[in-house]
Chain A
Amino acid sequence: MIFALKVGYRYFRSGGSQTVLTVVSVGFGVTVYLFITSLIFGLQSGLIKTTIGNSSHITVEANDEAARVLSIKNQENLSTVQPFNEREVSLQGYKGIILQLDKISGVTAVSPVATGAGFAIRGGQSRPISLVGVEEDRGSQIFDLRAVMKTGRLDLGGQGSAIGIELARLLGLKVGDKVRVVSAKQVDQVYKINGIFDSGNKSVNERSFYVSLGNGQRLNDLIGSVSRIELKVQDPFGVDPISEVIRGETGLKVETWKEVNSELLSGLAAQSQTTDIIRLFVMILVATGVASVLIVSVMQRSREIGILKSMGVSTGRLQGIFIVLGSLVGLSGALIGVGLGGSIVFLLAQIPGNSGLKPGYALPIALQFRFVMEAFVVAAGIGSVAAILPARRAALMNPVDVIRLG
């Protein structure tokens, strides 16, 4: 082992320009590897963050009405009752359910929501709105209205409300103004605008009209009940077992963000596969580079290999020399690549405004320590794997041929 390390290291040191070039190309390979991995990870985690950051991870609703048959015993069916396609089913006894949900481990926020459609009317203008009644504190744990507030503040007390910035623009509303609201249940009330927020999502900004939970219940004819309960959990990707627990304990209809966003998730999975293919090609590139420099090295040193064999050096040790050489090429390339790729990724993550997405936002790229380690291990590992073939070739050389014929 010491012998192989020592000789392999000397060979590496005296490798000359060929080794330098290979090390550099391995370095660029690792740079690409690191860059692609970080970029895709950054993009995906950014997307997931915007998707689940401001919305509920698990939504609990009342069960759909079952179709049932009205019949008199042993007689013909009288009629069949079918559920309405979009019939609103409200959640009765929600206060008890909230207490139950608060106790489930992994759940970080529970917020009852009373929601329904309506119109906001000001002067001759009316806009369709989505009336959302929430408790200020519980609601903010799901969608942090305070954090996105543009003007005014979050105060839903009394006839207070908070509306999206686009809705405010369309109706010409500013903080302090009053607006008339008519719900789909024909409840007509006047609200005062206490805050205008920008959620980053246009349709939310155009339609959202937040009121207190009590007002939401009144407007939507949900006295003593709510439309749904929204939850957040500690680990958004681990929602499935928690949703099972909730389903079991409450017997209600439970939907996770994954189920709602299955298209996004399958899109992300496809993107990950593409990344894997790119990474695979980079690995092949690194491997062929290392293998080629080793094959040349074995050829150049065939006489020395013959001499070592004539001195009684075993084939295992001879192979060891070239595997050490390959690992050294891989390792040094990895060092260069991690340094270069790491700096590029780090710098890109600092520079704002070059993403073409939104001015002021940095390229969604995230440098993770585990990617650096991964790139490092992959490059060094590939170096030694790529060395196996040339090493075997060296070990199988016939000393007579190489000594006599060179």
Chain B
Amino acid sequence: MIGVNKVYGGAVPFSALSDINLTVDRGEFVAIVGQSGSGKSTLLNIIGTLDRPTTGSYILDGNNIADLADAELTKVRGEVVGFVFQFHYLLPDFTVLENVLMPASGTKFRPTTTDREEAIKLLDRVGVGDQRDKLITNISGGQQQRVAIARALMASKPLILADEPTGNLDSVNSEEVFKLMREIHSEKKTTFLIVTHDERIADRCDRIIRIADGRIIEDKAAVKPKT
């Protein structure tokens, strides 16, 4: 990411990000920390190709995002990026398994047997394998967030972007969800970018990027790299 700026608004322009230069390597486990309104979520959206930079260039997996049309961008997003949000944003009208399969059903003609097997394995891995035929609305908040992580991991996506993944959970569930992400990171070498304002979570990541007023003010290896 080279010299990225993001400006919102028309009459009164608001600069959400200014002059961001950032490189994240494959397999890193990064925390993005900052107050609300600091621009950390905007950064995550640009990284996740949900949003485009106003100026500057962003290269994801060898593709310059500015060069891609919307349809191509949608395709790249589907192949490369998995999202985990503060609220799980699972689809309430579907079962746990159907939700995890959603990225596959949504982009292919229909999910294959391999997709199904992968989804079941992932659900087992995140510890909700026994809940897979229940409707999303019938499982607990912690379980929902696990399902969301399983969904983000589908199709072996190399990059997981998590926006306050534990923000809505109690401390026990927060701990478990975070541990799960670390475990998956060490197993699959998936790149994780986690937006959080929880310093305790941030301290347990490998790298901490601190943002204030749309600028990176600190980029350092964590004090205590692993738990």
| Contact surface of A with B, Cβ cutoff 8 Å | 1-3, 6-7, 10-11, 13-14, 303-304, 306-315, 317, 398-400, 403-404
Q: Is B22 an interface residue (CB 8 A)?
A: no
Contact call B103/A399, Cβ cutoff below 8 A? no
Q: Is B221 an interface residue (CB 8 A)?
A: no
- In the complex, which residues of chain B have a beta carbon less than 8 angstroms from the beta carbon of A6? 105
Contact call B78/A312, Cβ cutoff below 8 A? yes
Q: Is B74 an interface residue (CB 8 A)?
A: yes
- In the complex, which residues of chain B have a beta carbon less than 8 angstroms from the beta carbon of A311? 77-78, 83, 102-103, 106-107, 151
**CB < 8 Å neighbour of A312 from B45, B107, B110:** B107
CA distance A13 to B93 in the complex (A): 9
Q: Is B51 an interface residue (CB 8 A)?
A: yes
CA distance A6 to B109 in the complex (A): 12
Interface string of B61-76 (1 = CB under 8 A from A): 0000000001100111
9 contacts between A and B (CB under 8 A): A308-B91, A308-B102, A310-B81, A312-B74, A312-B76, A313-B78, A313-B107, A314-B71, A403-B50
CA distance A311 to B106 in the complex (A): 8
| Contact surface of B with A, Cβ cutoff 8 Å | 41, 45, 48, 50-51, 70-71, 74-79, 81, 83, 85, 89, 91-94, 102-103, 105-107, 109-110, 151
CA distance A404 to B74 in the complex (A): 18
New A-B pairs, 8, CB < 8 Å, besides A311-B83, A314-B71: A10-B93, A14-B92, A307-B83, A311-B106, A311-B107, A312-B79, A317-B106, A399-B50
Contact call B91/A304, Cβ cutoff below 8 A? yes
Instruction: Tell me the number of A-to-B contacts counted with CB atoms below 8 Å.
Output: 71
Minimum Cβ distance to chain B for residue A153 (Å):
75
Minimum Cβ distance to chain B for residue A107 (Å):
60
- Quick one: given A403-B50, A403-B85, are A312 and B106 in contact (CB under 8 Å)? yes
**CB < 8 Å neighbour of B110 from A2, A7, A11:** A2
**CB < 8 Å neighbour of A3 from B50, B75, B106:** B106
Contact call B48/A3, Cβ cutoff below 8 A? no
CA distance A48 to B148 in the complex (A): 69
Minimum Cβ distance to chain B for residue A405 (Å):
11
Closest to B45 in A: A400
Top 8 nearest A-B pairs (CB, nearest first) are A312-B78, A313-B106, A10-B93, A311-B103, A307-B89, A14-B93, A400-B51, A312-B77
Contact call B106/A310, Cβ cutoff below 8 A? no
Minimum Cβ distance to chain A for residue B133 (Å):
15
- In the complex, which residues of chain A have a beta carbon less than 8 angstroms from the beta carbon of B76? 312
- In the complex, which residues of chain B have a beta carbon less than 8 angstroms from the beta carbon of A309? 50, 74
SS of B interface (majority): helix
CA distance A11 to B110 in the complex (A): 18
- Quick one: given A311-B78, A313-B78, A400-B45, are A304 and B89 in contact (CB under 8 Å)? yes
Minimum Cβ distance to chain A for residue B32 (Å):
15
CA distance A317 to B70 in the complex (A): 14
- In the complex, which residues of chain A have a beta carbon less than 8 angstroms from the beta carbon of B102? 308, 311
CA distance A404 to B106 in the complex (A): 22
- In the complex, which residues of chain A have a beta carbon less than 8 angstroms from the beta carbon of B107? 311-314
- Quick one: given A312-B74, A314-B71, are A307 and B110 in contact (CB under 8 Å)? no
Contact call B89/A403, Cβ cutoff below 8 A? yes
Minimum Cβ distance to chain A for residue B118 (Å):
15
- In the complex, which residues of chain A have a beta carbon less than 8 angstroms from the beta carbon of B50? 309-310, 399-400, 403
Contact call B83/A310, Cβ cutoff below 8 A? yes
Contact call B77/A310, Cβ cutoff below 8 A? yes
- In the complex, which residues of chain B have a beta carbon less than 8 angstroms from the beta carbon of A7? 91
Minimum Cβ distance to chain B for residue A18 (Å):
15
- In the complex, which residues of chain A have a beta carbon less than 8 angstroms from the beta carbon of B106? 3, 308, 311-313, 317
Closest to A301 in B: B91
CA distance A13 to B103 in the complex (A): 22
CA distance A326 to B52 in the complex (A): 33
Minimum Cβ distance to chain A for residue B30 (Å):
19
Residue among B83, B89, B109 with max Cβ neighbours from chain A (10 Å): B89
CA distance A130 to B215 in the complex (A): 107
Contact call B103/A3, Cβ cutoff below 8 A? no
Minimum Cβ distance to chain A for residue B214 (Å):
16
CA distance A313 to B102 in the complex (A): 9
Closest to B103 in A: A311
**CB < 8 Å neighbour of A404 from B41, B93, B151:** B41
Contact call A3/B74, Cβ cutoff below 8 A? no
- In the complex, which residues of chain A have a beta carbon less than 8 angstroms from the beta carbon of B92? 14
Contact call B51/A307, Cβ cutoff below 8 A? no
Contact call B93/A2, Cβ cutoff below 8 A? no
Minimum Cβ distance to chain B for residue A180 (Å):
90
Contact call A10/B78, Cβ cutoff below 8 A? no
- In the complex, which residues of chain B have a beta carbon less than 8 angstroms from the beta carbon of A313? 74, 78, 106-107
CA distance A304 to B92 in the complex (A): 9
CA distance A307 to B148 in the complex (A): 11
Contact call A314/B89, Cβ cutoff below 8 A? no
Minimum Cβ distance to chain A for residue B206 (Å):
25
Closest to A308 in B: B106
Minimum Cβ distance to chain A for residue B96 (Å):
14
Closest to A2 in B: B110
CA distance A247 to B105 in the complex (A): 70
CA distance A2 to B105 in the complex (A): 8
- In the complex, which residues of chain A have a beta carbon less than 8 angstroms from the beta carbon of B103? 311-312
Minimum Cβ distance to chain B for residue A176 (Å):
84
- In the complex, which residues of chain A have a beta carbon less than 8 angstroms from the beta carbon of B41? 404
Contact call A10/B94, Cβ cutoff below 8 A? yes
- In the complex, which residues of chain A have a beta carbon less than 8 angstroms from the beta carbon of B110? 2-3
Residue among A1, A303, A312 with max Cβ neighbours from chain B (10 Å): A312
